[in-house]
Amino acid sequence: MTSAVLFGTFAIFLFLSVPIGISIGLATLVTIIYSGFPVDFLTKELVTSIDSFPLMAVPFFILAGEIMGKGGISDRLFRVANALVGNKTGGFAIATIITCMFFAAISGSGPATVAAVGGIMIPAMVRQGYDKRFATATVAAAGSLGVIIPPSIPMVIYGVVGSTSIGDLFIAGVIPGLLVGLALMVYAYFHSRKKGYTGTGEKTSIKLIGKAFWEAKWALLIPVIILGGIYGGIFTPTEAAVVAVVYGLLAGMLLYREIRFSDLPKVIADAALTTATILIIVGTATAFGKLLTMEQIPNEIAAWMLSISESPIVIILLITILLLIVGCFMDTLAAIIILTPILLPIAVNIGYDPIHFGIIMVVNLAIGFITPPLGVNLFVGSGISGLSIETLSKSIVPFFLAMLITLFIVIFIPPISLFLVEMMK
Amino acid sequence: MKALHWLDENAEKVLLVLLSSVMVIVIFVQVFMRYVMQNSLSWSEELARYCFIWAVYIGISYGVKKQRHIKVDVLLLLFKDKGKIVFNIISNLLFLAFAIFVVIYGYRISEQLLAFGQKSPANQIPMGLVYLAAPFGMALTSIRIIQNLIAQCKALMGKGSFDPKTEFEKLKEE
Amino acid sequence: GGGGNEPAPADNGGDAPAETEGGEEAAAGSGDKRVIRVSNGINDQHPAYEASLRFKELVEEQTDDFEVQVYHSGQIADDRSAIEMLQLGTLEIVVTSSSPLANFLPEYGVFDLPFTISDPAVADELLDGPFGEKMFGLLESQGLVGLAWWENGFRNLTNSVRPVASVEDLNGLKIRTMENEIHLDAWREMGANPTPMAFTELFTAMQQGTVDGQENPYPTIDLSQYAEVQEHISDTNHVYTPFLFLFSKSIWDELSADQQTIIHEAAIEAGLFNRERNREVADESLERLKESMTFTEITDEERARFQEVVQPVIEKHKDSIGAEIVDEYLNTISEITGG
Ligand code: NA
Ligand code: NA
């Protein structure tokens, strides 16, 4: 009954278009009153839940992303990708995906990746003769890489909620991220061949590629600093994010000279705003999750799932389907905070490594960025291109399938996630 | 009057820039001290964490001012302008109810914790002040919501203008 | 928050899927039973969790008034935050180490003073005697009721650089410590470079060399699998940390005298069980750790040198803890040890 009140009121508030974090907070409040709990629990949890140093990687990675976004970096990254593959069939589409992958190694967010890359690449692809629907779908799908390739805000949240190492999650996301990118490129290539999207026709050479790389060097160094710093024993993920901020500022102000000192207040305030809109969800969803725990609901769900089948394959498939459905309707971070305490123990029970399971969850929920009705990447893509959500939802289907296939590969071949982690040991 | 207008425009922004800058600088110094100077700081992480908590709750207010909170507003696409405004008003009233709840009860727990006198481990900051972040931020948030509500009610009565567009529609126009 | 007892070992994400005790009864509807929740920061492999289950059994054998629910791994809250919940009356019980309490009552910092207790028997006599009573008496002003002393145990040092047998061996080692001024000062005084850090990042940080070592009780070291990333372990026994079995005063005052007696006695009995198990587990953990780490014993002479070196730390923090409490603590210990 309690869970009915909790989830029922949450759905109602959500559909009344109350902000997600507040919807969760109100639902928790109603349930607390319903079950005779002291309300102080909720107000205290609002602060306690965000009192976490690892969680502070979120604002810093957002700030780093904002600074990079201002510094004309997407453009330079694209020139590298274009020098590599631009003259081949489907070259612009593939270069767009590669640009997303580069940008994903700087940004920790899916929608931010779509916004940064799409703004330049959708018009560019259209000018090159690509169908606008295909162009937008390409960016919306590849934008999901923002959370699979490290750094990744959902991984930070999963690490905090599931008490697993954020550094390990980051490294575990590298190969799955490359794999998802590859799957998207494969589809983009065959689609382009069918539609006759030829390359730019420009000649390329090692010299040109080298020049493009050189011009983008300050941006391409960021992932090296972040992962190298964490795995070189210099700093923790949160500190890495701060170093990325400082580095981005220096690069943007001194090297590229595209950020002025007077721009800083706006950049910082914007990043703080984005942070707050995410962290209010963390605050209330953590309280929501704890209330579930205290009402014993995760145990009931776990017992029920484990009673359905003895087979780990059946159970992981059930979890996958659940996450895909949740991904259609719920915000990624809220889903991670609420579901991790429920699903992680089940996954561990059937033999999954917590790091591997974290990657499964993140890849799965990254697919949720492109599934309607709540598909944030679709919204952003639609905003940039002017196409309707309905139109986009259709052209995204093949990309969705490509990601789904990769998800299953990630689920059933653990070394894809764990190989690099093991190697670092 | 002029001061009030300036506050209305900049209050959250100034606080956010201040708190964020402290966070970045303090953590950067922490890394520098440990890695370069081989001398770890004990106060830096805690200070940054408390700035972070305050920044989040002030940021929520800024998010209301800028109308940037993450919501599911696909349902709103079904309605015409007036319907959208009505929906927005309902949603804002619910948000306001939550904010006021946090102001009252959040203040109550800060007060109790201040009375018990617990101090933070590293900087000896009274913990009640840390918990004050939520009611303070939500008080600012309440003001911002009321400002929005006034604009929406005016728009509903045909006076003044309020943009009832959804996030999605706004993006489309950019 | 910092300063607390360590939370669950890093990779324990979910050792026990459906094992928060009391679940079935709750699902079946607990009727008019009063629910009592016990929060543990440690995970479900720790002896304190086992003892919490023992407490549940003892209470529920004695009376039908209560349904006791036991939580582990900070499922409800980390220890510092759980203490606050007790103060606010939103949680009944926390089994917490003394360390986070020092933020509420500086006097509890005495237990952080290094190299003061070196034998569990001394700890028992100290805590079960008038000194323990006095410490419990302080809790009332914080809205807390202290029912029993349980045990977290002795903290010991591991590192990946060299065996530590003497103070000199600590020179320059980057040691992760809790966010606690006394611990930080003690390690600095001994020549190490102490660094506070989140527990969840510790494993990776040691693996990558961001820090060289850490210090925790043997069971925590073993459960967290630090042997994979640490080569050396020493029986520094530098700090003895008790656990306190705390009840929310505002809720306590609502209970009848009979109910209070039942709960109080169960807490004490479960506590005795906890100490016994904890010592067994610590021995077993050390044996396992010895298989993959080099173990160094600190000789009595070296221990005396450690004690000497950290003397300024005790002097420095004496006033902030409370000179009277520190003196009583040290005097009681030397009476017990016959010094
Ligand atoms: Na990323
Ligand atoms: Na979705």
ipTM of this complex prediction, to 2 decimal places: 0.85
| pLDDT score, position C223 | 86
Query: Are the Cβ atoms of B39 and C193 closer than 8 angstroms?
Result: yes
Q: Taking Cα atoms as reference points, which of A301, A380, A385 lies closest to residue A346?
A: A301
Selected residue with higher pLDDT from A109 and C63: C63
pLDDT grade for B169, boundaries at 50, 70 and 90? low
pLDDT grade for B166, boundaries at 50, 70 and 90: low
**Mean pLDDT of the A193-220 span:** 85
pLDDT given at position C325: 96
pLDDT band at C159 (very low <50, low <70, confident <90, very high): very high
What is the per-residue pLDDT for C339? Answer: 61
Q: With respect to residue A328, please indicate whether it lies within any of the assigned structural domains.
A: yes
> How far apart (Å, rounded) are the C-alpha atoms in residues C214 and C203?
10
Asked if the structure places residue A405 within a domain, the reply is yes
Q: Which of residues 13-72 of B touch A (CB under 8 A)?
A: 13, 16-17, 19-21, 23-24, 27-28, 30-31, 35, 45, 48-49, 52-53, 55-60, 62-63, 66, 68-72
Q: Does the residue A290 lie in any domain?
A: yes
Q: What is the pLDDT of residues A82-106, one digit of tens each?
A: 888 878 888 889 999 999 999 898 8
pLDDT above 60 (res C225): yes
pLDDT at C221: 93
Alpha-carbon distances of C63 from B56, C59, C146, C258, rounded to whole Å: 46, 6, 21, 10
Q: What is the DSSP string of A329-369?
A: HS-HHHHHHHHHHHHHHHHHHTT--HHHHHHHHHHHHHHGG
Q: What is the pTM of this model?
A: 0.86
Q: Which residues contact B98 (CB under 8 A, 6 or more apart)?
A: A22, A25, A26, A29, B138
Task: Please give the distance, rounded to the nearest whole angstrom, from the Cα atom of residue A281 to the centre of ligand 1.
Answer: 20
pLDDT band at residue A380 under the 50/70/90 scheme: confident
Q: What is the mean pLDDT of residues C137-143?
A: 97
d(CA C111, CA C245): 16
A277, B70 Cβ separation under 8 angstroms: yes
**Residue C194 DSSP SS3:** strand
- Summarised one tens digit per residue, pLDDT across range B86-132 is 888 999 999 999 999 999 999 999 999 999 999 998 899 999 999 99
Residues B45, C179: C-beta atoms closer than 8 Å: yes
Domain-located, residue A156:
yes
pLDDT confidence of residue C307? 95
Confidence of residue B164 (pLDDT cuts 50, 70, 90): low
Q: Which two tokens stand for residue C130?
A: 């008038």
**In the prediction, which pLDDT does A71 show?**
63
Contact A347, A357 (CB under 8 A): yes
Q: How many H helices and E strands in chain C?
A: 14, 9
A22 is a domain residue: no
- Structure tokens, A59: 């604002």
pLDDT for position C269 = 97
Q: Would you state the pLDDT for residue C25?
A: 39
For residues C37-54, give the mean pLDDT: 92
pLDDT at position C278: 95
In whole angstroms, give the CA distance from residue A215 to residue B67: 38
A170: pLDDT strictly greater than 60:
yes
Nearest to A48 among C8, C77, C209 (CB): C77
Q: What is the largest CA-CA distance in chain C?
A: 62
User: Which residues, in sequence order, are bridge partners of residue C151?
Assistant: C242
Q: Which residue of A has its CA nearest to B102?
A: A43
Distance CA C239, CA C231 (A): 21
Determine the distance separating the centroid of ligand 1 and the alpha carbon of A59, expressed in angstroms. Answer: 14
Residues of C in contact with B112 (CB under 8 A): 87-88
Cα dihedral across residues C19, C145, A50, A417: positive or negative: negative
CA distance A349 to C303: 44
Does A44 contact B131 at a Cβ distance shorter than 8 Å?
Answer: yes
- Tell me the pLDDT tens digit for each residue of A337-369: 889 988 998 999 899 999 999 999 999 999 999
Q: Which residues, by Cβ under 5 Å, contact ligand 1, an ion?
A: A 104, 108, 146, 149, 152
pLDDT of residue A77: 85
Ramachandran category for residue A386: left, alpha or beta (phi over 0 → left; psi -120 to 50 → alpha)? left
Region C151-180 average pLDDT: 93
Domain contains A35: no
* Residues in chain B within 8 Å Cβ distance of C161: none
User: How far is A26 from C114, CA to CA, in rounded Å?
Assistant: 47
Average pLDDT over residues B12-39: 92
Q: Which residues pair with C34 in a beta bridge?
A: C66
**C-alpha–C-alpha distance, residues A137 and A399, integer Å:** 8
**Residue A38, in any domain of the structure:** no
Q: Residue A208 above 90 pLDDT? A: no
Question: Does residue A330 or residue A8 have the better pLDDT?
Answer: A8
Question: Which of A38-52, A118-132, A139-153, C242-256 shows the lowest per-residue confidence on average (mean pLDDT)?
Answer: A118-132
Take residue C300 and report the two structure tokens written for it: 């009595």
Domain for residue A12, yes or no? no
What pLDDT does C1 receive? 34
pLDDT reported for residue A179: 97
Chain C residue with CA closest to A341: the answer is C14
CB contact at 8 A, A236 and C174: no
* DSSP state letters, C112-164: GSTTS---HHHHHHHHHSHHHHHHHHHHGGGTEEEEEEEEEEEEEEEESS---
The answer to whether B47 and B123 are in contact (CB under 8 A) is yes
User: Per-residue b/e over A349-372, b at no fewer than 16 CB within 10 Å?
Assistant: bbebbbbbbbbbbbbbbbbbbbbe
Q: What is the DSSP letter of B126?
A: B
Phi, psi angles (nearest 5°) of residue C316: -60, -40
Between the CA of A389 and the centroid of ligand 2 the distance, in Å, is: 12
CA dihedral A126, A132, A138, A141 (to 10 degrees): 140
Number of Cβ within 10 Å of residue C110's Cβ equals: 24
Work out the mean pLDDT of chain B and round it to a whole number.
Answer: 88
Sign of the CA dihedral running A78, A79, A83, A88? positive
The pLDDT-based confidence of A215 (bands split at 50, 70, 90) is: confident
Q: How many CB atoms lie within 10 A of CB C171?
A: 12
Considering all CA atoms of chain B, what is the largest pairwise distance in Å, rounded to the nearest integer?
Answer: 66
**If residue B39 lies in a helix (H) or strand (E), which one and from where to where?**
none
SS3 B116: helix
* pLDDT score for A309: 87
What residues have CB less than 8 Å from A230, skipping those under 6 apart? A167, A170, A236, A237, A240, C204, C208
Domain that holds residue A413: 54-424
Q: How confident is the model at residue C3 (pLDDT cuts 50, 70, 90)?
A: very low
| C5 beta partners | none
Contact state of A47 with B97 under an 8 Å Cβ cutoff: no
Please check whether residue C268 is in contact with residue C147, taking contact to mean a CB–CB distance below 8 angstroms.
yes
pLDDT tens by residue, C262-311 = 999 999 999 999 999 999 999 999 999 999 999 999 999 999 999 999 99
Q: CA quadruple A334, A336, A341, A346: dihedral positive or negative?
A: positive
Tell me how far apart the alpha carbons of residues C167 and C297 are, in angstroms, rounded to a whole number.
Answer: 13
The average pLDDT across A128-132 equals 92
What whole-number percentage of chain A has pLDDT above 90? 46
Which residues numbered 248-307 in A keep a CB inside 8 Å of some CB on C? 290, 293-296, 299-300, 302-303, 306
Q: Which of B21-30, C173-182, C232-241 has the lowest mean pLDDT?
A: C173-182
> In chain C, which residues touch B (CB < 8 A)?
1-3, 84, 87-88, 102-104, 142-143, 172, 174, 179-181, 184, 193-196
pLDDT tops 90 at residue A390: no
Q: What sign for the dihedral angle of Cα A275, A277, A282, A284?
A: positive
Crossing angle (nearest 10°) for helices A91-104 and A132-143 = 20
Q: Which residues contact B158 (CB under 8 A, 6 or more apart)?
A: none
Tell me whether strands C232-248 and C144-159 are parallel, antiparallel or unpaired: antiparallel
C-alpha distances (whole Å) from C266 to each of C55, C146, C150, C237, C269 are 6, 13, 12, 29, 5
Look over chain A and give the mean of its residue pLDDT values, rounded to a whole number.
89
> pLDDT: is C134 or A260 the higher one?
C134
Please count the structural domains in chain A. Answer: 1
- For residue A424, the model assigns a pLDDT of 77
Greatest mean pLDDT among A157-166, A355-364, C172-181 lies in A355-364
Query: What's the CA-to-centroid distance between B172 and ligand 1, angstroms?
Result: 25
Range C165-194 average pLDDT: 92
Portion of chain C with pLDDT greater than 90, in percent: 76
Q: Distance (Å, rounded) from C-alpha B128 to C-alpha B118? A: 8
* Spatial separation of the C-alpha atoms in residues A350 and A353, rounded to whole Å: 9
CA dihedral (B75, B81, B84, B86) positive or negative? negative
Q: Establish how many alpha carbons lie within 13 A of residue C330's alpha carbon, considering only the half-sphere containing its beta carbon.
A: 17
First to last CA, chain A: 47
Q: Which residues of B touch A272 (CB under 8 A)?
A: 16-17, 19-20, 55, 58-59, 62
Pair B106, B131: CB distance under 8 Å: yes
Bridge partners of C213, per DSSP, are C159, C175
- Cβ atoms of residues C222 and C289 within 8 Å: yes
Q: pLDDT digit string (tens) for A276-316?
A: 988 998 899 889 888 888 888 888 888 888 888 889 999 99
More confident residue, B161 or A149: A149
